[in-house]
Amino acid sequence: MFSESLRRTRQAFLGRIAQLIGATELDEEVWDDMEALLIQADLGVETALKVTSALRKRVQGEGLTTRTQLEAVLREILLGLLPAPGPSGLEDERLLTVVLVVGVNGSGKTTTIAKLAHRWKGEGRRVILAAADTFRAAAIEQLEVWGRRVGVPVVSGQIGGDAGAVAYDAICAARARDCDLLVIDTAGRLHTKYNLMEELKKIRRVAAKNVHAAPHEVLLVVDGTTGQNALQQAARFKEAVGVTGVVVTKLDSTARGGMVFAIGHELGLPVRYVGVGEGLDDLVAFDPRAFVDGLFEE
């Protein structure tokens, strides 16, 4: 399922790893090269070191020599870096489930919300969206356009208005319209004079105060083409708003798919979905094994 969207990552990453592990002699140089390749593939330094040393230990300890053996062990190690997605906050039965979607501007947040709304509506959920990014007129309009296309209502407020008030209105609207799934879009501007994390915390508080145990899921959208930068952002969001899962977008247009391993290993966050294109159906539920297999396809 990831096959086509992983083409670039596969070419940049595993084509070359395959050459390395096919080498006749696994000397010091091969291990150094492997480390460098994994770092280039955006696994991040820490994760790349861990993978190389784990592989090396197994190869030496078990006397592995063939390429098939090495590849099998490498797959196992990579898979071990990815936390199992586990149950999401969406699966429990409740009257109203609230999903907060966070991420910086340009990450693909609005498109992802539209894709999620489309998917969940298709699963029989009664979805409503809240445009709580009150800074960008374009963001509100864009969400409204997507809402019409998907066929779900969108609650929006005034430009420059209070994002917490939009969240509150959306909760009331969800109840009045008998919706069971509210997805809240949030601001994503990184600006020194403005505290994004405080704004997100405020929306979180409004949700918690008005809906039991909300938000039930906090999805962080990260742009897969930005590699390690995205990882640093993710760490900040995780700390400030309690991210419960990640959506990695634009996997189709990047060779940096290796960052998925760093998100799993360094942040311990499950990737829930990946974006593989600009259309409404271009969102794939993340499956760790299928992802690793996709990297090794011939």
The residues that touch ligand GDP, with contacts defined as CB under 6 A, are: 103, 105-111, 188, 249-250, 252-253, 275-278, 282
In angstroms, give the least distance from the CB of 52 to ligand GDP. 30
Q: How many CB atoms lie within 10 A of CB 65?
A: 12
Q: How many CB atoms lie within 10 A of CB 37?
A: 20
Q: Which residue has the tokens 């309690």?
A: 242
Beta strands in 109-260, from DSSP E residues, in sequence order: 127-132, 154-156, 181-186, 217-223, 245-249
77 vs 143 by CB, closer to ligand GDP: 143
In angstroms, give the least distance from the CB of 279 to ligand GDP. 9
37 vs 294 by CB, closer to ligand GDP: 294
73 vs 251 by CB, closer to ligand GDP: 251
Q: Three-state secondary structure along 75-97?
A: HHHHHHHCCCCCCCCCCCCCCCE
In angstroms, give the least distance from the CB of 252 to ligand GDP. 5
In angstroms, give the least distance from the CB of 113 to ligand GDP. 8
User: Whose CB is nearest to ligand GDP?
Assistant: 275
Strands, sheet with 127-132, edge to edge from the N-terminal-most edge strand? 154-156, 127-132, 181-186, 97-102, 217-223, 245-249, 271-275, 283-285
97 vs 249 by CB, closer to ligand GDP: 249
Show the DSSP H helices in 128-226 as ranges: 137-150, 163-176, 196-210
In angstroms, give the least distance from the CB of 224 to ligand GDP. 8
110 vs 244 by CB, closer to ligand GDP: 110
